[in-house]
Amino acid sequence: MLITPAIVALQLIALSVAGTVLLAAGFAWKILRHWNIYSGSELQLRLERRTYLISTLLGFALGAELLSLLLFAQTAESLSGQFVGAMCATGVLNVNRFGFPTLLLKIALFFLAALWLLLNRVDNRGYDYPLVRVKYGLLLALAPLALLEGTVQTRFFLELEPEVITSCCGSLFSATGQGVAAELASLPARPALVLFYAMAGLLLVMGLAFRRWPQLGPLFAATNLLTFAVAIAGIVAFLSLYVYENPNHHCPFCLLKAGYDYVGYALYLPLFGATAAGMGAGIIAPFRRIVSLQATIPGEMRHLTGLALTGFGVFYGLATWLMLRSNLILLG
Amino acid sequence: MIELREVSKVFNQGQPNECRALRKLSLHLERGGITVFKGPSGSGKTTLLTLIGCLARPTAGRITLDGRLLSNLPERFLTEVRRHTFGFVFQQFNLIRGLTVLENVMLPAYPLGKPYRELRDGARALLDRFRLAAKADSRVEWLSGGEAQRTALARALINDPAVLIADEPTANLDSALSREVLGLLLGELAMQGRTVLISSHDPLVFEAVQVDRIIELHDGRMVGDSQC
């Protein structure tokens, strides 16, 4: 096992998130079973008082979880010099079988945690705890993932053996390889490019329609998620080629390297942030008719939709600029 | 206007020193008028007023204000209700030492964000009404007991609350000063249509002619309720 300050920080975050979520899951179960806002029973009043403490603790823990995705990617990238065969984060994540599962769990938890934090923020602005059951229900869904992520990440770091010779992005993100990464890498560039920009157009139309017809919320949330998936596929299929100016280099992690001006961070941060904001906007829309949230949700939806469209705008703008300035001629 | 349904308050619950201050108390208080809560020390008067005034939460039971549940409100909403609905006068005055009389009176209004000039004029008008205009720039530690309680009264009214809560307002005053403070509290304020809730075991208070209702407490239970 390697021990670096970043690994220790990631493990501490995982431990505190798992501990807090586990503690809160027991409370969440009580909320789902016994919560009755019209009751003046001791139990109900105790639940009302405790929800402040629990949601505050969860706020800090899940906020740290959001940051841990960034730290994990940066740590994987920075460790690439320690392993034979690793040129970037891909090689490090390939050192053992827990690397990519950890990353995928972290991405899933990033969106779930962002959603929980948003629901908590909206719930705290209603005078009668309007979303208390929804947010604690979501917490129960999130808890097993958080525990699993903590376990898988621990196994990943424990089994990081420096003598392992790993394979890097050249073999994983290869058009001739096997698996999801290889399939993304082998996508034909032109249709992928058309789909990439078609999704941007669809998202913009959906965003404007959602502002006018809030009942389209769930559809807008789904469009955000789909645009995120297409954007990631686009990065692997063609955007990375333009950045590296190499028709065979599809790695989405080398973008995080200093040699490419850390452009990956500038692409991924708005992409992840915008997706979380857009999904959040769509998911809170169905709650806009709750009396105590009628004054809060419309403003929150507008704000989040604006954030999502701006974030995707930054991502697409940067992606377009990267392709235009590249010396690679991919589409003849 | 204010309704309590089976309200209980237990301090140090589950500890050896557990104290049941209120036991399943139900009560309906109409808007306007003067209600006095009387009873011996430890009967639950102060606890009841702190629960009604949203300074504490009950252990069980519900409190509503104009039909809206108060006792379960999240803290940020409770603060708003406290600021706009209730004015408090405490037994120990609770004035802020080091500040002047005028500053003490203005203090509860700062979070509402009124223009300073309007706020200061309002505070000066209150001090004038309570014959404290000459003391406006004096520090509160220089005041006599009666002046201090009148300052506290002015402070309680700066946000024009619908409900004025006074906890043993005459406990630290001699008879003459008590009559003076009571004259203001019971005479002038009740005529403005405010709801005045007073806890006291001072006969000067509950025998006053302006009192509309007397509720007697003992060991956290209501043992008497009489209209005057």
Domain ranges (residues) in chain B: 2-227
Q: Considering only alpha carbons, which residue of chain B is nearest residue A126?
A: B74
- For residue A253, what is the DSSP state? S
CA distance B61 to A61: 33
Strands (DSSP E) found in chain B: 2-11, 19-29, 33-38, 60-65, 68-69, 86-89, 163-167, 195-199, 213-218, 221-227
Nearest to B74 among A41, A45, A124 (CB): A124
Q: What is the mean pLDDT of residues B107-127?
A: 93
Instruction: Classify B67 in phi/psi space as left (phi over 0), alpha (psi -120 to 50) or beta.
Output: left
Specify the higher pLDDT residue, A162 or A140.
A140
Alpha carbons within 13 A on the beta-carbon side of A59: 13
The answer to whether ipTM exceeds 0.85 is no
- Share the mean pLDDT of chain A: 93
pLDDT at B192 (0 to 100)? 75
CA distance A24 to A154: 22
**What's this model's pTM, rounded to 2 decimal places?**
0.84
Instruction: Judge: A129–B6 Cβ closer than 8 Å, yes or no.
Output: no
Q: In the numeric block, which tokens belong to residue A220?
A: 């807008």
Interface mutation target, options B64, B72, B73, chain A, most CBs of A under 10 Å:
B72
pLDDT at B189 (0 to 100)? 66
- Tell whether A48 lies on the interface with B, counting CB pairs under 8 A: yes
Q: How confident is the model at residue B209 (pLDDT cuts 50, 70, 90)?
A: confident
Q: How confident is the model at residue A332 (pLDDT cuts 50, 70, 90)?
A: low
Residue B108 has pLDDT above 80, yes or no: yes
pLDDT at A233 (0 to 100)? 94
Nearest to A127 among B8, B59, B73 (CB): B73
Fold classification of B2-227 is: Rossmann fold (3.40.50)
The answer for A 127-186 residues in CB contact with B (under 8 A) is 127-129
Instruction: Judge: B72–A48 Cβ closer than 8 Å, yes or no.
Output: yes
Q: What is the mean pLDDT of residues A112-129?
A: 94
A137-156: per-residue pLDDT in tens?
A: 999 999 999 999 999 999 99
CA distances from B115 to A326, B56, B118, B162 (A): 58, 31, 5, 22
Give whichever of A5-19, A157-171, B68-82 has the largest mean pLDDT. Answer: A5-19
Report the first-to-last Cα separation within chain B, whole angstroms.
Answer: 19
Q: What is the mean pLDDT of residues A39-62?
A: 92
Q: What is the mean pLDDT of residues B133-155?
A: 91
One-letter-per-residue 3-state SS of B54-72: CCCCCCEEEEEECCEECCC
For helices B116-129 and B145-157, the axis angle rounded to 10 degrees is: 140
Instruction: Judge: B74–A37 Cβ closer than 8 Å, yes or no.
Output: no
Q: What is the mean pLDDT of residues A194-211?
A: 96
B188-204: per-residue pLDDT in tens?
A: 666 677 899 999 888 88
Judging contacts by C-beta atoms under 8 Å, the chain A residues touching residue B8 are: 42
Interface mutation target, options A48, A55, A120, A127, chain B, most CBs of B under 10 Å:
A127
C-alpha distance from B72 to closest chain A C-alpha (Å): 7
pLDDT at A24 (0 to 100)? 96
C-alpha distance from A48 to closest chain B C-alpha (Å): 7
